[in-house]
Amino acid sequence: MATGYLEILKARHALRLLTGTLVGRLPNATAAIALVLFVRAEGGTYGLAGALAAVYGVANAVGQPVLGRLVDLYGQPRVQLPAAVLAALAMTLFAFSGTSPLPLAYAAVAAAGLFAPPLEGGLRALWPSVLRREEQVHTAYAMDAIAQEVMYTVGPLLVTLCVALWDERAALLVLNLVGVLGALCVVLSPPSRAWRPAPREAHWLGALRSPGLLALLAAFLFVGIALGSITVASVSYADGHGGDAVYGWLMAGVGLGALAGGTVYGARAWGGAPERRLRVLVALLAVCYLPLMLVPGPVAMVLLSVVAGVFLAPCIACAFILVDRHAPSGTVTEAFSWLVTTFTVGASVGTGLAGPVVQAGGTVWGFALPGAAGAVSLLVLLATGRVLAAPARGGIVAASSENDPNRAAEPRFSSGDRA
């Protein structure tokens, strides 16, 4: 099973790019918990901490596609590194100024979120110039989805470690410094410096002029809602079954399930059209959310949370292939950044929806929301099947021979040819 992953990691520059991207994204992955801990240490309320974390999230959702478009226009080093430095400086300002004056705190946190570099989309744009075969690119997408689960598991632990060794301010400073080093590692690599986007048609909508990409984003908005609603429903469940420790295990279970599912999914080559495969995966994702409504005891509930997460990473990995297929020429980083933004916004919406649902109907109905959101995502995919089956010019895979002069003699292929 691990052979395909090892083959990718042995490719020149692959391990450096993957590691640098994950390290560079640590400030983004840990922002919410680091902000909450810092504000509380400063004597602020949970309400203020939540508001600042929300401002960071909204600013990040806005900034990712904007910076992604700039990367497609001007290349990775000229955008990624300055953005990482500006984000770190903004968070440093917040760390030293604290929550007073309040307008400055909000402005600094918003700037930190806005300038968080689109390293995630940038990495996916680089894979075809690093890897030799299309099936390797698809495996790299799966490995990328798995790495995200690891990062979001390890990230909070790193925050608590920094707090234990130093304090909450140091956690903000160290993680953002590490993030700049990660971005630096990526942009100084030969693939990042050599990467050039394919020629693009000037259009104010950029990647969003693709109907197929819009359909995919609409579907993944509801996948994000499902994931966000699980977070709130799990808090409600844990309140009556053991408190924070149980909540932590439930979230870890979802992550473990996604990690296992993504590992298995990426370990083999899949035949058939990716849009049909995505419909099956989203249907299975929705079905696996339903047993959570049984709300059994903590041990059984943790096991059900593992099952609920199994098809999340495969869905994301398959979505990456479709983003590649539908991104208009020259907009691949922006297109991948839109997927990140849509998923993030969906998770925020799910969190907001689940609160009133739990309050009105209890924990069971809170866990009904993920299944319902998954079902709506499937309906969107079914309703837009023709659009998804008629891709635009292949994005990054088709253009890979243009971006790597050493591969100019290789035949072009689109990510739909053997997906």
- Fold category of 14-195 in CATH: Growth Hormone; Chain: A; (1.20.1250)
334: left (phi over 0), alpha (psi -120 to 50) or beta: alpha
Give the model's pLDDT for residue 1: 53
Query: How open is the CA angle 209-213-218, to the nearest 5 degrees?
Result: 110
Contacts of 73 (CB under 8 A, 6+ apart): 197
208-419 belongs to which CATH class?
A: mainly alpha
Contacts of 50 (CB under 8 A, 6+ apart): 36
Contact call for residues 83 and 116 (beta carbons, < 8 A): yes
Give the model's pLDDT for residue 245: 78
- C-alpha torsion 377→382→383→388, nearest 10: 100
Give me the residues of the chain with pLDDT under 50, please.
394-419
270: helix, coil or strand? Answer: coil
Q: Number of helices (H) and strands (E), helices first, in the chain?
A: 19, 0
267-276 pLDDT, tens per residue?
Answer: 888 888 899 9
- Total residue count of the chain as it appears in this document: 419
Q: Which two tokens stand for residue 275?
A: 């849009």
Contact call for residues 199 and 329 (beta carbons, < 8 A): yes
Give the model's pLDDT for residue 393: 53
Residues 56, 58: Cα–Cα separation, whole Å = 6
Q: Which is nearest to 289 in space by CA: 379, 373, 358, 380?
A: 373
Stretch(es) of the chain classified as CATH 1.20.1250.20: 14-195, 208-419
pTM for the structure as a whole? 0.82
Contact call for residues 249 and 302 (beta carbons, < 8 A): yes
Give the model's pLDDT for residue 377: 97
Residues 87, 386: Cα–Cα separation, whole Å = 41
